[in-house]
């Protein structure tokens, strides 16, 4: 009997492997630049869609079908037709990638389903809500990976928004990556004149993270497989103009499978950028970083201060690096590994604590690229952060829900967030001295999410949990009043995110 069972398992595994081998990935990539009611973004979205197509083609096994529409769509019907053209005939074993770069519309007080993507081709325009988009995509049984480069896009998954936070795409069928929180704008750049250069900051950084252009920097452990969590962490560290959001918050599923024998792409000018982590000292506002120069290039450090809740791009400060050789222009560096410390020389004492966007620029001839950027948090040397916390009353992780916790703080600071069970034992740490960054929440705050797992990755039992929050400001530690949340599973089957036998959910 045991031998028959072993044989049955072997046959089942073989069948699953064969099914997985026949699974395919399809992609729909959309860019809209010309609008009737909003600012044109040409050629940023056009280039975003084409660059995403090129990045996907450079992976281990490119999508079998890629529909690229870099010049926009003008109606919900046109979107429905594009989705049908790209995904018709997919099975539950397949993967669908939906990417869009356009304007996003959402206001505080609206629900997740009210978030809208603005579609336009310059002659006609239509807004498609997140609810309408979900209805279109739900018609296809495949697993879906959504990537949105749009203002306020985190709203459709309840990220970067005030409580109550609703995630329209919660569940096992979707993985989502957004360029910004629900209260944030997303940003792009476009050159003046007819050069035709431009891109979205988020998409540009993402592509560097998954392609040879940036030495696949998102692959933290260099195993040629990038998980959603790896990609999200990379974007938070290397993309500073907005705060990338992801669902699920913690996922070790590979979504990108890289070529294992990748070649160094020297057209990138420089790569392997690493910023020092942690908050800066306002008494000595300096940050250390390292990078590798691949070809002779001018390197500069652009500092953009946040004033009045917005990045002051017009008041940006540019500091050129010291040239490697005598007589060279400012910032001229030769190939090799570099370590640098950048000091914010013009930090205004009257302005005080705050946030700074640091962009690492690489210039060669007429080409300028932002190789990486990061948000610098400068807390005051002392002061009361007026710390408080609020959390969702209850959540059900078996259905894919995550518990949203918002920590309000009047000052930039370093936050620690712990979850305790009924006995007072710490069962999970969501943050330890994590520097805050601007999310444009009002009152000022930072969002955290709990997926209902313990420190060892096992599901936490149903019950009431305590959220304990502290903030470091200078040498002082401040604590907020504890809040509680209830974990209660209502679904008959637990929500698992494991990979099927013999198959990874992936962009092969």
Determine which of 33-42, 140-149, 351-360 has the lowest per-residue pLDDT on average: 351-360
8 Å CB contact between 257 and 286: no
Confidence (pLDDT) at 344: 81
pLDDT tens digits, 97-129: 999 999 999 999 999 999 999 999 999 999 999
Are 251 and 283 found together in one domain? no
Give yes or no for residue 37 having a pLDDT over 50: yes
Closest to 413 in 3D by CA, of 334, 366, 474, 341? 474
Is 90 inside any structural domain? yes
Closest to 407 in 3D by CA, of 112, 154, 163, 184? 163
144: Cα within 13 Å, side-chain hemisphere: 24
Residue 473 belongs to domain with CATH number: 2.60.40.4070
Is 301 inside any structural domain? yes
Highest mean pLDDT among 11-20, 187-196, 293-302: 293-302
Q: Which residue has the higher pLDDT, 354 or 242?
A: 242
Q: How far apart are the first and last CA of the chain?
A: 39
The total number of residues shown for the chain amounts to: 508
Give yes or no for residue 371 having a pLDDT over 60: yes
Is 502 inside any structural domain? no
The residue-averaged pLDDT of 256-279 equals: 87
- Give how many domains the chain has, as a whole number: 3
Confidence (pLDDT) at 264: 73
Is 53 inside any structural domain? yes
Are 201 and 304 found together in one domain? no
Is 243 inside any structural domain? yes
Residues 6+ apart with CB under 8 A from 139: none
The residue-averaged pLDDT of 2-28 equals: 54
The residue-averaged pLDDT of 356-374 equals: 93
> Which residue range(s) make up the domain with 234?
2-257
Give yes or no for residue 8 having a pLDDT over 90: no
The residue-averaged pLDDT of 450-465 equals: 97
C-alpha span between 397 and 494 (Å, rounded): 8
Is 383 inside any structural domain? no
The residue-averaged pLDDT of 252-276 equals: 88
Confidence (pLDDT) at 428: 98
Residue 299 belongs to domain with CATH number: 2.60.40
Give yes or no for residue 424 having a pLDDT over 60: yes
Are 252 and 342 found together in one domain? no
Give the torsion through C-alpha atoms of 137, 142, 145, 150, to 10 deg: -10
Confidence (pLDDT) at 195: 55
Confidence at 148, pLDDT banded by 50, 70, 90: very high
C-alpha span between 151 and 256 (Å, rounded): 24
Is 498 inside any structural domain? no
Give yes or no for residue 347 having a pLDDT over 80: no
Phi, psi (deg, nearest 5) at residue 167: -110, 105
Residue 98 belongs to domain with CATH number: 3.40.50.1460
Confidence (pLDDT) at 352: 62
C-alpha span between 232 and 179 (Å, rounded): 10
**Regarding beta strands 394-395 and 483-487, do their DSSP bridges make them parallel or antiparallel, or are they unpaired?**
parallel
The residue-averaged pLDDT of 476-501 equals: 73
Give yes or no for residue 250 having a pLDDT over 50: yes
Confidence (pLDDT) at 353: 77
pLDDT tens digits, 379-412: 999 999 999 999 999 999 999 999 999 999 999 9
pLDDT tens digits, 162-177: 999 999 999 999 999 9
Are 392 and 465 found together in one domain? yes
Q: Mind giving me the DSSP string for 243-308?
A: --EEESSS---EEEE--SSPPP-GGGSEEEEEEPPSPPBTTB-EEEEEEEE-SSEEEEEEEEEEET
From residue 237, give the alpha-carbon distance in Å to each of 3, 46, 52, 118, 233: 52, 26, 20, 28, 6
pLDDT tens digits, 58-86: 999 899 999 999 999 999 999 999 999 99
């Amino acid at each position: 009997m045991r031998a028959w069972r072993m044989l049955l398992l072997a046959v089942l595994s073989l069948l699953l492997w064969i099914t997985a081998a026949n699974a395919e990935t399809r992609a729909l990539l959309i860019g809209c630049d010309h609008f009737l009611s909003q600012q044109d973004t040409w050629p940023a979205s056009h280039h975003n869609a084409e660059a995403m197509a090129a990045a996907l083609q450079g992976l281990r096994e490119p999508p079998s079908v890629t529909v690229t529409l870099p010049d926009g769509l003008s109606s919900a019907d046109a979107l429905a037709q594009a989705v049908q053209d790209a995904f018709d005939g997919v099975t539950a074993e397949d993967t669908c990638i939906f990417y869009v770069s356009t304007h996003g519309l959402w206001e505080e007080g609206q629900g997740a389903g009210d978030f809208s993507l603005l579609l336009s081709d310059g002659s006609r325009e239509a807004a498609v809500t997140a609810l309408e988009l979900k209805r279109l995509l739900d018609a296809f049984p495949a697993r879906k990976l959504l990537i949105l480069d749009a203002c306020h896009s985190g709203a459709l998954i309840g990220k970067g928004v005030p409580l109550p936070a609703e995630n329209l795409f919660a569940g096992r069928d979707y993985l989502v990556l957004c360029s910004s929180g629900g209260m944030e704008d997303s940003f792009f750049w476009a050159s003046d004149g007819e050069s035709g250069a431009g891109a979205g900051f988020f998409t540009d950084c993402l592509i560097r993270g998954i392609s040879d252009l940036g030495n696949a920097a998102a692959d933290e452990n260099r195993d040629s497989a990038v998980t959603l969590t790896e990609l999200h962490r990379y974007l938070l560290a290397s993309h500073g103009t907005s705060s990338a959001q992801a669902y699920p918050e913690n996922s070790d599923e590979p979504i990108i499978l890289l070529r294992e024998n990748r070649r160094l792409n020297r057209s990138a000018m420089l790569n392997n950028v690493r910023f020092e982590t942690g908050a800066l000292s306002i008494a000595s506002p300096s940050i250390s970083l390292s990078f590798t120069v691949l070809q002779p290039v001018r390197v500069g450090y652009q500092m953009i201060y946040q004033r009045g809740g917005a990045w002051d791009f017009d008041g940006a400060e540019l500091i050129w690096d010291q040239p490697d050789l005598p007589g060279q222009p400012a910032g001229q560096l030769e190939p090799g590994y570099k370590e640098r410390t950048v000091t914010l020389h013009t930090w205004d004492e009257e302005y005080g604590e705050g946030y700074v966007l640091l962009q690492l620029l690489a210039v060669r001839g007429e080409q300028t690229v932002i190789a990486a950027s990061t948000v610098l948090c400068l807390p005051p040397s002392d002061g009361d952060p007026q710390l408080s916390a609020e959390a969702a009353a209850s959540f059900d992780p078996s259905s894919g829900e995550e518990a949203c916790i918002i920590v309000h703080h009047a000052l930039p600071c370093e936050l620690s967030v712990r979850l305790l069970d009924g006995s007072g034992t710490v069962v999970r740490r969501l943050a330890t001295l994590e520097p805050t960054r601007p999310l444009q929440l009002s009152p000022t705050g930072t969002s955290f999410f709990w997926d209902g797992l313990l420190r060892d990755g096992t599901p936490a039992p149903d019950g009431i949990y305590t959220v304990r929050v502290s903030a470091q400001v200078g040498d002082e530690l401040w604590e907020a009043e504890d809040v509680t949340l209830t974990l209660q599973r209502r679904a008959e089957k637990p929500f698992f995110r494991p990979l099927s036998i013999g198959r990874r959910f992936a962009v092969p």
